[in-house]
Amino acid sequence: MTSPFTLLFASNNRHKAEEINSILGEQFQIITLAEAGIVIDIPEPHDTIAANAAEKSSVIYQLTGKNCFGEDTGLEVEALGGAPGVKSARFAGEKATALDNMTKLQELMKGQKNRKARFVTVISLRLNGEHHLFSGMCSGTLAEVPAGKDGFGYDPLFIPDGSKQSFAEMSMDEKNKFSHRKKAVQAMITFLQQVEKK
């Protein structure tokens, strides 16, 4: 059955789009901003992950009037009081690369015995003018040395509970068994399926 829901994904991050598509499968169709011909850099001005996700979906909904969703993810490190958190993508500066961010995190964690961390994802869905939030979390620990070449962001440093491999050492299917993003997307899928049945 073809779903009536085609959703614009309010992001320019192709890695996230690939990951979300791998979770959605054939159930729902998403269109990236690039595929929609929308060239916009959406700011992340807020101090919570949920507010930044909502900012993204709000901007695109107001621009297009189409069903869409935004997503924001943060890595929260217990020993750093929850940092980098909402600033995960800009931890080492506004123009920081993933390597810059990981390097800064490694420096701050040198000699730290408590290496507990968690990824948190919030999805903000704008559907038929209504706003809905979905979240997912994955707890784990930080490796002292990055490992793996797949994934993106902090994936080479993050080892989810229940595994000995970092996210970057896993295939997409393996990562999705643990993934914070998978849990948030799955919550959105469940909601959309319920809406479909009405």
- Would you name the residues annotated as active-site residues? 72
Q: Give, for 136, the enclosing helix (H) or strand (E).
A: strand 130-142
Q: Calculate the alpha carbon distances from 25 to 21, 30, 43, 49 in Å.
A: 6, 10, 29, 26
- Evaluate the omega torsion of the peptide bond into residue 4 and state whether it is cis, within 30 degrees of 0: no
d(CA 169, CA 187): 26
Query: C-alpha distances in angstroms, 186 versus 17, 63, 114, 135, 154?
Result: 15, 26, 30, 9, 22
Q: In the 8-state DSSP scheme, what is residue 66?
A: S
Distance CA 150, CA 57 (A): 28
- The angle, 0 to 180 degrees and rounded to 10, between the axes of the packed helices 180-197 and 14-24 is 50
DSSP run (H or E) holding 59: helix 49-64
